[in-house]
Amino acid sequence: MKKFVLTGLAILLALSLSTCEIAPVVVEGGSGFTDVVYSADGKSLTLYLDGAVVPQTKASRALTDDLAKMGYDYFEVVFFHREAITGGASGGSITDSGIIARASWEIGQSVGITGVHRTYGGVDYGTVMGIPALLDVSGDAAEISTAVIFIGRKSDKTLLAVGRIVSTDHDSTAVITNATKSVTFQVAALTAGVAAVLDGSGPPATYIATGSSFLTAVDGPNQGSPEDIDDPDNATVPNTLVKMLSIGGVVFPLFELAQEEPAIAAVYNIGCTGNYPDYEEGIRISSIGGVVTKREPRYPAGGGFYNYANFTIDQRTGVDFNNNKDADEQFNNRIEFMFDTDTKKTIKSLFAITFSIPVYALTSENASSLSSETPAETWYIRPGYGTYMYDLDDGEDGPGGMILLGTNIDGHDPISVITRPW
């Protein structure tokens, strides 16, 4: 079953664009002043710009605990505007001709965003679009105005949701004028998770990878042919060999790899509760570079201990990304992997993988001089957050993010466990 990386999110974000100063007012029962107000129903928040504040009340902080329970507690909002270019331009930073307004905050903190570009006639920020890291225009270039919000966890910067502007306080569009007081961001949660479903053809029980984020090209029509097994396009549900494996009495989807193959393609699809194309251009690859990590299969045993599979652990199979490698390119939510079971002759064994891909929102440039020198945040696309990304994904509603793989494993033979700390 595909699960949410971020569960329970149905949030609308209202961003106040009023630049007038609000005089401090002492309110009985209040507790100071704030430039961010959370709604009591957990569906909106209002940000005040340019130093404006409002009295903070218990009601205005009501969203804090709910957000923490849902797993997310950190936000970054980015606005970008660049006037049309005629006659071409090249070299230099996009901030030479563009205006960037950016702010990051965690729940309970002030936001402090300033410098959002707007005009009397209005600027439309409704479409999330990609912008280059450097200016390189051979001819004319149209005006660009775009905005996006990232939502996730402060502790490890796992990206859990993205959002775009859908309306303002005076209109059902994303056009921001000098008179605009607030804008509303509609947010979509990212989804992920492996799955194995009984196909009904047993006994013995057999499974298919319907609804799984992770798929392989192992069982294609020309299995063993380099023209088939190494093609990510062939990583489909019918071509994925999956079974259920009991480890210490707990069952997990096991994805089988072919032996002695120099290149086996696989993919991991990051889903979205909204229409992903509405947001995809705003998620850009960071220059830091992603990491695929092989680990021993494990799951929590309680009390700070973990159950590890008591079986031969694969030390030979190689794995790496096959895409999402180029800095500043748009993140591809169909993440491609390539496995090598041939170079070191993988034997009958188990292992698990997890991954982390660094990304940023819209642009890696700091906020422009019209705002503040706020640096861009680096976020991470992962199959799970916190230490859960190192626990096996059970194919159900568990929080684990690691993918269990093996070669020549009989799914009907239970495997014992060794319990130890991290």
37/14 Cα distance (integer angstroms) = 9
pTM of the model: 0.85
pLDDT digits (tens, 9 = 90+) for 277-296: 999 999 999 988 899 999 99
pLDDT digits (tens, 9 = 90+) for 169-185: 788 899 988 887 777 78
Whether the pLDDT of residue 412 is over 70: the answer is no
Query: What local confidence, expressed as pLDDT, does residue 61 receive?
Result: 36
Contact 283, 78 (CB under 8 A): no
Mean pLDDT for the stretch of residues 389-406: 89
Mean pLDDT for the stretch of residues 190-219: 87
pLDDT digits (tens, 9 = 90+) for 103-150: 888 877 777 777 889 899 999 999 999 886 555 555 567 788 999 999
Alpha carbon of 186 to those of 165, 192, 357: distances in Å?
6, 20, 24
Query: What local confidence, expressed as pLDDT, does residue 103 receive?
Result: 87
Query: What local confidence, expressed as pLDDT, does residue 29 receive?
Result: 37
Query: What local confidence, expressed as pLDDT, does residue 122 receive?
Result: 93
Contact 193, 395 (CB under 8 A): yes
Query: What local confidence, expressed as pLDDT, does residue 236 receive?
Result: 94
Average per-residue pLDDT for the chain: 79
Query: What local confidence, expressed as pLDDT, does residue 283 receive?
Result: 96
Query: What local confidence, expressed as pLDDT, does residue 185 receive?
Result: 80
Listed by start position, the domains of the chain span: 3-191, 197-421
Query: What local confidence, expressed as pLDDT, does residue 20 receive?
Result: 32
Query: What local confidence, expressed as pLDDT, does residue 18 receive?
Result: 38
